[in-house]
């Protein structure tokens, strides 16, 4: 069980100019007193082809953390364009908001960011050298991807069965919980439909091949043709039945195979008390 749960993240200046700071209002809940501070970081992914262009825009420590619901403002600088390839300044990229305790990351929130020019003319015919002052960003704040990791907190009892001291492969782990569930389910359904259609086409081809073979038997032997017709009728029914069963199985797999996804702990903040304003330093 996580001692700290992320309740919500609001981006206060969105959309904004590419050169504007990122401003997040972060709300979280702490279930027990912590001995150390929480470390928050914001990372900008400069290129999809290499992580050498990733930039840590800012980091800060938040604490001491009182028990209950807490809220604070996290403001980070815009990325430095001289560290981003010109071809990757425009288009879609990602920013990652992460939180760690005692050097151990326990939650990560990823947002898609779309960078484009303010005018249609520039978007239709972008200059070879990007004009950064005329680029605006739009963070897809309503569809973040949230990943949680089990970590050891202050007590040994809170440690997971196999606690890793470091997490260099965190990006390769499947998302425990994430927004965008509807989009992921739609993709899974489309894949299931394509699989069903492919399976149906294969069955139809098999039936046609059997029919051709049986027609050749009719030309060679009249008596054998009658038996083949009876066999063909039976085989067609079996093939159709097998195809229907296969489609039902595929559809069932699509429904059951959807990614586990949900929003960030949609736990309502109690009306009886306001969130604590915690110190960031």
Compute the distance between CA of residue 6 and CA of residue 54 in angstroms, rounded to an integer: 24
In this prediction the pTM is: 0.60
Listed as ranges, residues in the chain with pLDDT below 50 are 175-181, 207, 213, 215, 217-223, 225-272
CA 115/CA 89 separation, integer angstroms: 7
Q: 66-111: per-residue pLDDT in tens?
A: 999 999 999 999 999 999 999 999 999 999 999 999 999 999 999 9
Please compute Rg for the chain using Cα positions. 28
Q: List own/partner pairs for 267-275 with CB under 8 A and 24 or more apart.
A: 267/5, 267/7, 267/29, 269/7, 269/27, 269/69, 270/69, 273/68, 273/69, 275/27, 275/68, 275/69, 275/70, 275/71
**pLDDT value of position 19:** 96
Q: Which residues pair with 72 in a beta bridge?
A: 26
Tell me how long the chain is.
281
Q: What is the mean pLDDT of the chain?
A: 76
Q: What is each CA distance from 158 to 96, 152, 234, in whole angstroms?
A: 26, 5, 63
């Amino acid at each position: 069980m996580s001692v700290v749960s992320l309740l919500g993240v609001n981006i206060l200046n969105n959309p904004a100019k590419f050169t504007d700071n990122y401003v997040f209002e972060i709300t979280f809940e702490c279930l027990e007193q912590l001995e150390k501070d929480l470390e928050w970081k914001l990372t900008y992914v400069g290129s999809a082809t290499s992580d050498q262009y990733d930039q840590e825009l800012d980091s800060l420590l938040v604490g001491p953390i009182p028990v209950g619901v807490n809220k604070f403002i996290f403001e980070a600088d815009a990325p430095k364009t001289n560290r981003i390839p010109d071809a990757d300044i425009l288009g879609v990229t990602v920013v990652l908001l992460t939180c760690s305790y005692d050097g151990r990351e326990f939650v990560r929130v990823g947002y898609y960011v779309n960078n484009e020019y303010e005018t249609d003319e520039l978007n239709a015919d972008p200059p070879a050298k990007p004009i950064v002052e005329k680029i605006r960003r739009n963070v897809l704040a309503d569809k973040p991807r949230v990943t949680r990791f089990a970590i050891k907190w202050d007590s040994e009892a809170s440690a997971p069965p196999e606690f890793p001291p470091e997490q260099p492969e965190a990006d390769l782990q499947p998302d425990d919980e994430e927004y965008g569930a509807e989009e992921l389910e739609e993709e899974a359904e489309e894949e299931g439909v394509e699989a069903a259609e492919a399976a149906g086409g294969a069955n139809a081809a098999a039936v046609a091949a059997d029919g051709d073979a049986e027609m050749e038997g009719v030309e060679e032997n009249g008596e054998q043709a009658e038996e083949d017709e009876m066999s063909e009728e039976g085989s067609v029914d079996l093939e159709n039945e097998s195809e229907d069963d296969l489609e039902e199985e595929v559809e069932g797999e699509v429904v059951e195979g959807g990614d586990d996804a949900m929003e960030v702990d949609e736990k309502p903040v109690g009306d009886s008390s306001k969130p604590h304003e915690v110190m960031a330093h």
